Amino acid sequence: MKHLDEKVAAVTGAGSGIGRALALRLADHGCRLALSDVDATGLAETERLLEGRARAVTTAVVDVADEAAVLAWADAVVADHGRANLVVNNAGVALSGTVGSLSTEDYRWIMGINFWGVVHGTKAFLPHLEASGEGHVVNISSVFGLTAQPLMSGYNASKYAVRGFTESLRQDLELTRSCVSATCIHPGGIKTNIARSARLDSSVATATGKPTEVANKEFEKSFITSPDKAAAVIIDAVRKNKRRALIGPDARVFDAMVRIAPTGYQRLITGVVRSRSAS
């Protein structure tokens, strides 16, 4: 999909962060937009920012963990816009805590949004993308889908799952000679509100020796790439039909680290976290 002009793009998590930046950039490329988010207020603000900038915009409050809601939204997008060419499964949440402390319900919550939300979006839109004659699926994983981190087992599990799902999806599409392609995106630290809206277990404070709020703010300082930059990389990946795209210098560092030391990197990261806890 080298040209995005007049293409219909559906974006989840469009009420803030990467999703909002993508909506703005896609509008500048001439796309017609179908946007969703669970946050009605944030979604309305994105829609306001697109006034006079986008050719067409529809919005819907959708919980991506709800399969029926996502299926209904996909059908509504095609009813409103006539087709769908691009879906970006971007909606996501964060969870932090030790495995021993987190509940199975915590894991179900994050997998429901981060992984099942991607599956729901892909499955709901795939038939419509096929019908359009030219389609693309973009699924947002993370640098944490490349390397594991302490205190992030739920987030790691969900983002590794997105990576595996998307890489297999891409191969399925190639095997069947589909007109649809797929790209997996691995952002590093992006300046969004995901850390502030994360679920943080009390075990974070125990493990780091710092109050949960302090540990979270320090983690947030590592977010060095803007959502707009991330959006630009994603659009470039679609136009060049890349299998995978890394976003930010930190993502490239982590990718290189796991290639050089596939298991040794774990001791390095744990040591860094421990040293920060002592400071």
Cβ proximity of 50 and 33 under 8 Å: yes
Phi/psi of residue 98, each to 5°? Answer: -75, 155
Partners of residue 60 on adjacent β-strands? 36
For residues 96 and 99, give the distance between their C-alpha atoms in angstroms, rounded to a whole number.
9
Cβ proximity of 84 and 138 under 8 Å: no
- pLDDT, position 174: 98
Tell me: the pLDDT tens digits for 73-114? 999 999 999 999 999 999 999 999 999 999 999 999 999 999
How far is the first Cα of the chain from the last one, in angstroms, to the nearest whole number?
A: 49
Residue-wise burial string across 149-185, b where 16 or more C-beta atoms lie within 10 A, e elsewhere: bbbbbbbbbbbbbbbebbbebbeebeeeebebbbbbb
Average pLDDT over residues 131-139: 97
- Dihedral sign of CA atoms 205, 208, 211, 217 in order: negative
For residues 73 and 62, give the distance between their C-alpha atoms in angstroms, rounded to a whole number.
8
Tell me: the pLDDT tens digits for 192-219? 776 566 777 788 877 767 676 655 555 5
The closest alpha carbon to 208, from 155, 103, 148, 278, belongs to 278
For residues 185 and 233, give the distance between their C-alpha atoms in angstroms, rounded to a whole number.
9
* DSSP codes of every residue in 125-160: HHHHHHHHTSEEEEEE--GGGTS--TTBHHHHHHHH
For residues 52 and 48, give the distance between their C-alpha atoms in angstroms, rounded to a whole number.
9
- Dihedral sign of CA atoms 35, 240, 114, 130 in order: positive
- pLDDT, position 1: 80
Of the ranges 2-6, 115-119, 152-156, which one carries the lowest mean pLDDT score? 2-6
pTM of the predicted model as reported, rounded to 2 decimal places: 0.92
Q: Pick the catalytic residue from 107, 155, 160, 265.
A: 155
Cβ proximity of 130 and 169 under 8 Å: no
- pLDDT, position 181: 98
Band (261; pLDDT cuts 50, 70, 90): very high
Average pLDDT over residues 38-66: 97
CATH code for the structural domain at 8-278: 3.40.50.720
Structure tokens at 65: 């963990």
Please state, as a whole number, how many other Cβ atoms lie within 10 Å of the Cβ of residue 79.
9
Phi/psi of residue 47, each to 5°? Answer: -60, -40
In angstroms and rounded to an integer, the radius of gyration of the C-alpha atoms of the chain is 19
How are beta strands 180-187 and 86-89 bridged, if at all?
unpaired
Cβ proximity of 63 and 43 under 8 Å: no
Cβ proximity of 21 and 230 under 8 Å: yes
155 labelled catalytic: yes
Of the ranges 119-123, 138-142, 195-199, which one carries the lowest mean pLDDT score? 195-199
Cβ proximity of 56 and 78 under 8 Å: no
Band (272; pLDDT cuts 50, 70, 90): confident
- pLDDT, position 220: 59
